[in-house]
Amino acid sequence: MNVIIAGELPFVQEVANLCHEAGHTTTAYLVEDFYDALESGYVQHLENVDVLIELHNESKMGKQELLMGLTAALPPTALLLTSALCASTTEIASWTSIPSRVVGIGLIPPIEAGGIVELASALQTHPRALAEAQAFWGELGLESVIVKDGPGLVRARTLCCLINEAVTVLMEGVATAADIDKAMQLGTNYPRGLLEWADTIGLDAVLGVMNGLHEEWGDGRYRPSPLLKRMVLAGKFGRKTGEGFFNYECE
C-alpha cells in the first residue's frame, strides 16, 4: 500500500516505523514540513494514496488546516485514519472531502507492535471503512479496540487527565517531579511515571487533549493546568525538544 503520514513527533516516527516493517511504501511528514510540500506541488501526488494517517494533536485549528490541505486531492477510495485526541472523529470528518472514509484512531506513545489502537467511527463513517482500518492496523501488529466517538477516546482521555492532575500537584509544590513519578510508578504499579509519560507523549499533545475535552464537555475537571500551558508556551514539550518536566538534552 501507498501510505502517507503527517503529524507531529513522536507519533509520526513510531507509526512510520511500523508501516515500513509491514512492507508499505511510506512517506512521513511533520506538520511544518508538509506545508512546504504543499507549496512545492507535492499535493499532486496525493491522488495515488491508499491510506492517509493524520497524527496532529496540538490544536484543532492546526488540525483542520492540515486536513483541508491533505484531503483536497485525495481519491474517494483513500482511507483516512485520523488521531481523535483533540477533537471527535465526527467533527474531524466534517472538515474533509471524504467523510465516509474517515476513521478516528487513538494511539499513545510508545507505539509498538503488540500494542493496541483504539478505533472510533464518525457519524459519517461507512462500516466498510472501519473494517478496512481494523485490517490495516492488524497488518502493523496492533490489536484494534472499537470505542465510541469523542475527544481523547479512552486511553488519552484518562491518561491526560491523570497527567494534568500530576502537573497541578507539581505546581502546588506538593512533591518534586521525580517523587510524583516514583509515587505513581511504585505505589500504583503504573508502567512509567506520569510526568515522564507526558514528556514522552509531548506536552503539546497532552494540552491538545485537555483543550479538546474542556471544549467538548465544558467541565472544570478537564481545564488544563496553568503550569502545563506555561510549559507549552515556553516550548518545553518533553523529549522531542530536550526539556520538559525532566531534562533530555544528553540523550
Residue 57: which CATH number? 3.40.50.720
Residue 248 lies in a domain: no
Look over the chain and give the mean of its residue pLDDT values, rounded to a whole number. Answer: 92
Mean pLDDT (whole number) for 32-47: 66
Q: Tell whether 213 and 165 lie within a shared domain.
A: yes
Q: Tell whether 84 and 206 lie within a shared domain.
A: no
Mean pLDDT (whole number) for 95-104: 95
User: Strand pairing of 102-106 and 116-121?
Assistant: antiparallel
Work out the end-to-end distance of the chain between its first and last CA atoms, rounded to an integer number of angstroms.
34
Q: Tell whether 89 and 191 lie within a shared domain.
A: no
Cα–Cα distance for residue pair 211/233, rounded to 1 Å:
14
Q: Which three cell numbers stand for residue 180?
A: 510524583
pLDDT at 71: 81
Residue 246 lies in a domain: no
Q: How many domains is the chain built from?
A: 2
Q: Look up cell 467538548; give the residue.
A: 216
Q: Tell whether 92 and 176 lie within a shared domain.
A: no
Q: Is the pLDDT of residue 62 over 90?
A: no
User: Strand pairing of 25-30 and 116-121?
Assistant: unpaired
What would the pLDDT profile of 232-245 be if each residue is shown by its tens digit? 999 999 999 999 99
Pick the last residue of a domain from 121, 146, 171: 146
Q: Residues 6 or more apart from 157 whose CB is under 8 A from it? A: 150, 151, 209, 213
Pick the last residue of a domain from 111, 146, 181: 146
Q: Tell whether 6 and 66 lie within a shared domain.
A: yes
Q: Tell whether 26 and 81 lie within a shared domain.
A: yes
Q: Tell whether 159 and 141 lie within a shared domain.
A: no
Q: Tell whether 18 and 142 lie within a shared domain.
A: yes
Q: Tell whether 122 and 167 lie within a shared domain.
A: no
Q: What is the CATH number of the domain that holds 184?
A: 1.10.1040.10
pTM of the model: 0.92
pLDDT at 38: 63
Segments forming the whole domain that contains residue 107: 2-146
Residue 250 lies in a domain: no
